[in-house]
Chains A and B, each alone.
Chain A
Amino acid sequence: MKSVYKLFAITAILCLLGGLLLGLVAGTQFLFPEVLVDVIPFQSVRPLHVSLGIWWIFLGASSAVYFFIDALVDDSEVPINKEWVNSASCRRLALAHYALWVLSGFGIAYCYLNGIFGGKEYLNYPPPLSIPLAVGWICFACNLVKSVGGLKSAWPAFMWMWFTSCAVFLVAFAEAHLWTLPWFGGNIVRDVTVQWKSYGSLVAAWNMLLYGTATCLMYFLNRDPKMLRGRMVFTLYFLGLVNSLFNWGHHTYTVPTIHWVREISYFVSMLELYILWRIIATWSRGWDTCKSLRCFKSYRFLMAVDVWVVLNLILAIALSVPAINVFAHGTHIIVAHSMGTTVGINSMILLAALHYMVQDKVPAFASSDCRIFKTAFYLLNIALLVFWCALIGAGIEKALILSADPYQSYRLVLLAIRPYIMTVVGAGIVLLVCFFSILIPLLLKFIIPANSTQTAGGAWGEQSEPSAVNAV
């Protein structure tokens, strides 16, 4: 698996770059519908933008998992099935996973670009294209199972998170296609309920994959055994699992299901208050670690994740209160939540992991002591905050208009939220530039052999040998 993870990483970064560009096109078309409409209409741009974002997460996380399993081979705390990880079969299975995902990815992109749809929101492609995706994921799950096959001691929390992610993904992905059966597809309420039940679990699956990756990365950064089997990481794992199984209902509060479905989701959502409290309670302790590790790019991204987790948790908890959700539902506040979590949490975790992955080969690159990186990093977070706040503003404006008059002309609603969307697009452009400034050097480190990149690294203002990297 020594080089397979690079394939995943390179493809993931390309997906993110493509997704960002299409996001800008989608935002522009929202303001000026005629822009590029003959080249790529909005109903193709949106699913492609979303799909590229999702592929970035899954491919990037898969890359990190393959990398860390390989890196754990010689770790006495986390015994791994060394024979399997070093075998050709392991590599072949990882390559099969990659090939199946990339092939179906091209198929899906072809369908979207040619206006061939047929699926539901987020999985808008014709359903047969889901088969290679599912088979690819099974390859990934099998590889993971075989890699820890020889594990005699207790599994670390991040392994549980990865396994849970594999299982939840497969169940939820199958569930997302139940609409093809008339029992589900023929009843609109059942159809929407089951669709969003599965989407809630799919999001939980990739969250679990990423939280496992973040926990594993933290272990690599500070070698704290609590990150492996500590009570706290298992408590958070348990809460994540409960959320993945039961906390999808806040998507369907306004759908006419029986009322206790809403009450169960409301109760489960409030368990997130505990996570919020834990983060805030341990924040001051985290600053000590922060002082010693802030010189690493990886750690900077993890610091940003902490801030974005708090902001998005507050928003998520508020949206989980049905009395608030009934007004915010169907507005851009939901978009703020999804973009805030996808960019602020998921992408930051992946960027932390990917930067850590290249530091073995290019130590100088791991240092955050680089002017361009620092500028891009801080600007990215500021732009994301503006982007996030503007979306919430647009959502509040829409909610106020529609709660005063549910039959209001939609054209007037669009006009009212236009200033907010212009701010979103403006912040989006800054986000795009910052991401490119961070991602292009990272991409080059994965593509160009280590010796060449160390020489080329100087162009980005990096130190040749940062002392902090050597300290680890």
Chain B
Amino acid sequence: MCPRITLYSILFILFFGYTGIIYTSATHFENSALTKDSSEYRGRLVFQQHNCVACHQIYGLGGHLGPDLTNVVSNPRKGEAYARAIIRGGASPMPKFNLTDTELDDLIAFLKQADSSGESPPINFKITPWGSIEVQHGNPGKT
């Protein structure tokens, strides 16, 4: 076979294999929110429907007008009650979204899921000699 075809074939086989692994086992984080009826799942939809990501980040990915929300519910200076109050009442520049109690509970459940999966920005990490990092993710103490 032509070396060029062999090279590209290997590349695509590697890509599909890699993609399969990413889809199935790229994370150690497991949860029970894999149904559309779960509170966490509905909370993520609330997060999307109000485009929270325009201002906020999850794992450092998103907007820059508001803080990263990955660990907001376990933040020692904020916490769940603080998050509920801000979401309910708004605080400039954040608008008041008039969420129902169920929507608010779902959103908090989603934020708790984010919090239990890891830390952002990472606090517990080690820099390796070749410039990579070893991150200690997950916090068994969190729900």
A residues sitting closer than 8 Å to B (CB atoms) are: 29-30, 33-34, 37, 41-44, 46-47, 115, 117-121, 124, 178, 182-194, 196-197, 241-242, 245-246, 251-259, 261-264, 266, 321-324, 326-327, 329-332, 335, 402-403, 406-407, 409-410, 413-414
Q: Which residues of A contact B58 (CB under 8 A)?
A: 188, 192
Q: Give A133 to B138 CA distance when docked, in angstroms.
A: 38
Q: Are B34 and A182 in contact (CB under 8 A)?
A: yes
Q: Are B132 and A263 in contact (CB under 8 A)?
A: yes
**Interchain CB contact (< 8 A) of A43 among B31, B51, B61, B75:** B51
Q: Are B29 and A189 in contact (CB under 8 A)?
A: yes
- Shortest beta-carbon distance, A113 to chain B, in Å? 12
- Shortest beta-carbon distance, B64 to chain A, in Å? 6
**Interchain CB contact (< 8 A) of B18 among A42, A246, A330:** A246
B99 contacts the other chain (Cβ, under 8 Å)? no
Q: Which residues of B contact A330 (CB under 8 A)?
A: 57, 59-61, 68, 120-121
A-B contact count (CB 8 A): 185
Q: Are A257 and B50 in contact (CB under 8 A)?
A: no
Q: Give A49 to B135 CA distance when docked, in angstroms.
A: 34
Q: Are A256 and B117 in contact (CB under 8 A)?
A: yes
- Shortest beta-carbon distance, B102 to chain A, in Å? 18
B123 contacts the other chain (Cβ, under 8 Å)? yes
Q: Are B60 and A182 in contact (CB under 8 A)?
A: no
- Shortest beta-carbon distance, B51 to chain A, in Å? 4
* 8 A Cβ contacts from B105-139 to A: 110, 113-114, 117-118, 120-123, 125, 127-128, 131-135, 137-138
Q: Are A326 and B121 in contact (CB under 8 A)?
A: yes
Q: Give A115 to B127 CA distance when docked, in angstroms.
A: 43
Q: Are B48 and A118 in contact (CB under 8 A)?
A: yes
- Shortest beta-carbon distance, B77 to chain A, in Å? 5
Q: Are B131 and A182 in contact (CB under 8 A)?
A: no
Q: Give A30 to B64 CA distance when docked, in angstroms.
A: 9
Q: Are A251 and B61 in contact (CB under 8 A)?
A: yes
Q: Which residues of A contact B27 (CB under 8 A)?
A: 187, 189-190, 193, 256-258
Given contacts A120-B48, A121-B62, A407-B77, contact A189 B121 (CB under 8 A): no
Q: Are B26 and A261 in contact (CB under 8 A)?
A: yes
Q: Which residues of A contact B89 (CB under 8 A)?
A: none
* 8 A Cβ contacts from B35-65 to A: 35-36, 38, 40-41, 44-45, 48-55, 57-65
Q: Give A187 to B110 CA distance when docked, in angstroms.
A: 10
Given contacts A117-B51, A261-B26, A326-B121, contact A188 B34 (CB under 8 A): no
Q: Are B61 and A121 in contact (CB under 8 A)?
A: yes
Q: Which residues of B contact A42 (CB under 8 A)?
A: 54-55, 65, 93
Q: Which residues of A contact B77 (CB under 8 A)?
A: 407, 409
Q: Which residues of B contact A245 (CB under 8 A)?
A: 11-12, 14-15, 18
- Shortest beta-carbon distance, A42 to chain B, in Å? 6
Q: Give A190 to B29 CA distance when docked, in angstroms.
A: 9
Given contacts A43-B51, A245-B15, A256-B28, contact A410 B67 (CB under 8 A): yes
* 8 A Cβ contacts from B17-32 to A: 18-19, 22-23, 25-31
Q: Give A245 to B18 CA distance when docked, in angstroms.
A: 9
- Shortest beta-carbon distance, A424 to chain B, in Å? 11
* 8 A Cβ contacts from B57-83 to A: 57-68, 75-78
- Shortest beta-carbon distance, A19 to chain B, in Å? 16
Q: Are A326 and B65 in contact (CB under 8 A)?
A: no
Q: Give A193 to B117 CA distance when docked, in angstroms.
A: 13
Q: Are B54 and A186 in contact (CB under 8 A)?
A: no
A-B contact pairs, 19 of them (CB 8 A): A43-B52, A118-B45, A124-B53, A192-B59, A193-B22, A197-B19, A254-B59, A254-B122, A255-B118, A257-B22, A258-B25, A322-B133, A327-B121, A330-B68, A331-B64, A402-B121, A407-B75, A407-B76, A407-B77
